[in-house]
Structure 1
Amino acid sequence: MAQIKFGTDGWRAIIAKDYTVDNVARVALATATWLKHNFKKPSVVIGHDCRFAGEMFAETTAKVLANAGIKVYIAKDFVTTPMVSLGTLRQKASLGVVITASHNPPSYNGFKLKGSFGGPLLPKEIQEVEDLIPEENNINLEILNFEKFIENGIIEYIDLETMYVEHVEANFDMNAIRNSDMNFAYDAMYGAGQNVMRRLLPEIDFLHCDYNPGFEGVAPEPIHRNLMEFSEMIKLAEGQINCGLATDGDADRIGLYDSNGEFVDSHHIILLLIKYLVEEKKMTGKVVNAFSVTPKVKKMCDHYGLDYQVTQIGFKYIAGVMVNEDVLLGGEESGGIAVKGHIPERDGIWMGLIIWEYMVKSGKTLEELIEEMYQIVGGFKFERIDLKLKEADKLRIMENCKNDVYKAFGDLKVNEVQTIDGFKYFFDNDEWVMIRPSGTEPVLRTYAEAATTEAAFKILEKTHATINKA
C-alpha cells in the first residue's frame, strides 16, 4: 500500500490511482483511532462535494467510523465545506470530514478534516491523525452494511443545507438582496454551491450549476483564467449584471466580477469586507492575513485602529488565531476568507453575500465602493505568475533569496525584505514582488503589486529576468 501524506487540512490524491476505497478506509481507520484517543463519546459530521463517487467515499468513511462505535451524522446529497464545518459546530461533534479536493483538477478527490470549533483541524492534530494511518486496510468493507447502521441509529442523516440556509437568513437581509433593482450572477464552476444558491436567490443568473463531476475538464478554482465564460457573460449583459460571484468546487473560495466583467481579486474583497464590517456593521477585532496578501490591509487597519497580524500561508494558521482571539477577518490571497459572526472557516458564498448586501444597502455599484476604498488605501493592482521550473532551478533561486543575492530587479532597487513565508521585496512607491516555492510541485510562485496592471506585470517581467540570470 502507498504511504498517505497529509497536506494543509487533510489528504488529496488522484481517483483510482491512490484515492481508492481501501485507502479512504485506511484514513477513516486512523480518524477513528484518533477520535477514540481524544474523546469519550466521539461523533462526526460527514459530507461530500460534487466529485466523482463522492457519495461512495463518504459512505465508506461512515461505515468504518460506525463500525468503531462512533456516532456519524451524514449529509444525503452534496454539500459545501462550510456546511460541514457549521454542522460540526452546531452538532457539537468531535470532528467534521469532507470528501472533497476543493479547487484541484477533476481527477482528484480528498479527505478534509474539520475541528469541533467549525474550522480546519489544526496542524498538530492533522499530524496526529496522519501518524495513525495503518499500512493497509484490515476491514472487510463488504460485510459492513450502511443501511443496518442507519437502522441502528449509529449513522444518521443530517440536513446540512437547510441548517446553512437558516443561518444565512438569520445573518443577512436577504429580502433586500432579493428585492433590489441590482442584478447578480453566480458561477458554481459545477461545484457544491449550486443547490444552496438556487434556494437562497432563485431569480439571479446562474452558470455551470449542473451536476458535472468532470467540471468540463477545468479545475474548479475561481481565478480569472478559469472563469472566462463567466466574465464574457457579464460583459455581454452590458451593465445589466451588477456583480458576479464564483466559488470553487467545495464553495469555500471566492471569485468576484464587477459590472464590466473585470475580475476583482481577493485583496480588494478583503479591503471591502473590512470597510463594510467596521463602518456599517460597527464591528471590531483583529485582522489576520496570510503573507501574500497586500500590505494595503495594514494601511486600512491603521485607519480604523484595528490590530493586524500576518501569518504563514495556509488557512490553518489563520484559523488557529481565529479560534483563540477576537478576529474580525482572516484572509488569504487565494480567495479563502472568514469573518466574525460566522465560523472560523473560508466561505465563498458568505463573503459574496456580504458584498452584495453592501452594494444593495449603500445603493452603490461595486466600482464605486472600490473607489471609496481607494480613498483610504490608494489604488493598486495585483498580479501573480506561477513559473514551471526544473527542481534544480527552483532550488538555486531559493538559495539566492536566502543568501540575499537580489539587491535589485532590473532598475527596481530593493528597500526592504520580509521573510515570513517566502521572500517579499519592497521597492519605492508601495511596489513589491514576492517569490515563494510551491511545496508540492516544481513551481515558483511570483506575486507583484503596483499602481497599474501594466506596472505589476513589468515588475514580474524584471523579476523573472533577474532570477533566471543569477
Structure 2
Amino acid sequence: MLSDEKGQWLNGDLLGLLCSKLLRVDSLAVPVSCNTAIEKSGLFKQVNRTKIGSPYVIAEFNELLVNSTRVAGFEANGGYLLASDISFNGQVISSLPTRDALLPALIVLAQPKSISNMLDELPQSFVASNRIKEFPTSKSKALLTKLGNDISLLTALYNLEPHQKVDVTDGLRVTLNNNDIVHLRPSGNAPELRCYAESSSLQNAQQIVIKALDFARNIAV
C-alpha cells in the first residue's frame, strides 16, 4: 500500500500504471478488473486483459514477449510482475515474474514529482468495489446467466445508462453508453459475489456498486 502526500491511498492498479510508465514498459498484462486509465493513457503498444489472479497474468507474458522487450503486469491489489530485464537510471532490474509489492512503491517514491501530481497526469477514471458475503457460487452463476441474457434487467431498474459492450473474461463486465463500467463475478475462493465499478468520479463508481449489489440481493434467480 502507498499513499500520496495528502494521505490518499493509491489503488494497486494506479500504482502499477505509474510504475509501468516510469519504467517505460511497452506491453502489459493486467486483470480485466483493472482501471481503464491503463489503455486511455496511450502509453502502451499492447495491453492484454486476463481473468483475475496472478497465474493468468503470468500466462500472458509469453505472447507479449514475442513482439515486446519491456513487458510487465500487475494486479489491482498492488502486486507487480516484471517479465523482462529492464534498464532504469543506468541499472538493470532483473525480471521477476512473481508478485512484487516493493518495486512499484520504490520506483514511484524515487521520482522528483509528488505522487498527486503524477496521478493528475493520468486519465481520470475511478474504481470502487465491494462484495456480498455468504452468496453461494451457484447463485452468482445463475445471476450472471440471467443478466447475460438481458442486461436491461439491471440498467433499466436502476436508471443506469444502456450498455454498449459486454466482457465475459471473468464474470460479467458491462460497459455502459457513458463509459461507466459495472462488473459482477463470483469470488474464486469464497462464497461471495464481488462487484467492481468504474466512472469519472469515485462517488459515481461507489453508487454503481451500491445499485448493482442491491439488485443482486433482491432479484429472484
Secondary structure in 2 aligned to 1:353?
A: helix
User: Aligned partners of 2:31, 2:131: CA distance in 1, in Å?
Assistant: 18
1:433 Cα shift? 1.0
Matches within 5 A, 1:319-334: 319-323=58-62, 325=65, 326=68, 327-334=70-77
Instruction: Give the structure 2 partner of residue 353 of structure 1.
Output: 106
Match 1:336 to one of 79, 82, 101: 79
1:447 Cα shift? 0.5
Query: Is contact 1:323–1:344 with CA below 8 Å preserved after alignment?
Result: no
CA-to-aligned-CA distance 1:273-321 (integer Å, 9 cap, x gap): 222122xxxxx53211111112221222xx2351121112211122123
User: Aligned partners of 2:168, 2:209: CA distance in 1, in Å?
Assistant: 18
User: Aligned partners of 2:141, 2:59: CA distance in 1, in Å?
Assistant: 30
Query: Is contact 1:288–1:329 with CA below 8 Å preserved after alignment?
Result: yes
Name the CA shift for 1:354/1:464 in 2 (closer, same or farther; >3 Å).
same
Instruction: Write the letter of the residue equivalent to 2:77.
Output: S
> Which runs of 5 or more structure 1 residues have no equivalent in the other structure?
1-254, 279-283
Secondary structure in 2 aligned to 1:288?
A: strand
Instruction: Write the letter of the residue equivalent to 1:423.
Output: L
User: Aligned partners of 2:44, 2:50: CA distance in 1, in Å?
Assistant: 19
Query: Is contact 2:125–2:200 with CA below 8 Å preserved after alignment?
Result: yes
User: Aligned partners of 2:60, 2:26: CA distance in 1, in Å?
Assistant: 12
Instruction: Give the structure 1 partner of residue 32 of structure 2.
Output: 291
Name the CA shift for 1:405/1:389 in 2 (closer, same or farther; >3 Å).
farther
Secondary structure in 2 aligned to 1:415?
A: strand
User: Aligned partners of 2:44, 2:72: CA distance in 1, in Å?
Assistant: 14
User: Aligned partners of 1:312, 1:306: CA distance in 2, in Å?
Assistant: 20
User: Aligned partners of 2:59, 2:140: CA distance in 1, in Å?
Assistant: 30
User: Aligned partners of 1:305, 1:447: CA distance in 2, in Å?
Assistant: 24
Secondary structure in 1 aligned to 2:151?
A: coil
User: Aligned partners of 1:277, 1:445: CA distance in 2, in Å?
Assistant: 32
Instruction: Write the letter of the residue equivalent to 1:436.
Output: R
Instruction: Give the structure 2 partner of residue 309 of structure 1.
Output: 48
Matches within 5 A, 1:180-259: 255-259=1-5
Query: Is contact 2:28–2:44 with CA below 8 Å preserved after alignment?
Result: no
Q: Return the index of the structure with the highest Cα Rg.
A: 1
Match 2:167 to one of 412, 418, 421: 418
Instruction: Give the structure 1 partner of residue 126 of structure 2.
Output: 381
Name the CA shift for 1:270/1:430 in 2 (closer, same or farther; >3 Å).
farther
Asked whether 1:273 is paired with 2:19, we answer yes
User: Aligned partners of 2:73, 2:19: CA distance in 1, in Å?
Assistant: 11
User: Aligned partners of 2:57, 2:143: CA distance in 1, in Å?
Assistant: 28
Instruction: Write the letter of the residue equivalent to 1:400.
Output: K
Secondary structure in 1 aligned to 2:179?
A: coil
Query: Is contact 1:267–1:294 with CA below 8 Å preserved after alignment?
Result: yes
Matches within 5 A, 1:132-211: none
Query: Is contact 1:289–1:309 with CA below 8 Å preserved after alignment?
Result: yes
Name the CA shift for 1:259/1:467 in 2 (closer, same or farther; >3 Å).
same
1:445 Cα shift? 0.8
Q: Whose strand fraction is larger, Structure 1's or Structure 2's?
A: 2
Name the CA shift for 1:372/1:405 in 2 (closer, same or farther; >3 Å).
same
Give the 4+ runs in structure 1 shifted more than 4 A. none
User: Aligned partners of 1:442, 1:396: CA distance in 2, in Å?
Assistant: 14
Secondary structure in 1 aligned to 2:6?
A: coil
Instruction: Write the letter of the residue equivalent to 1:261.
Output: G
Query: Is contact 1:287–1:329 with CA below 8 Å preserved after alignment?
Result: yes
Q: Whose helix fraction is larger, Structure 1's or Structure 2's?
A: 1
With normalisation by structure 2, the TM-score equals 0.82
Instruction: Write the letter of the residue equivalent to 1:439.
Output: G
Report the number of matched residues.
200
Asked whether 1:453 is paired with 2:214, we answer no
With normalisation by structure 1, the TM-score equals 0.40
Q: Considering only aligned residues, what root-mean-square deviation do their CA atoms show, in Å?
A: 2.0
User: Aligned partners of 1:270, 1:443: CA distance in 2, in Å?
Assistant: 26
Instruction: Give the structure 1 partner of residue 179 of structure 2.
Output: 430
Matches within 5 A, 1:7-156: none
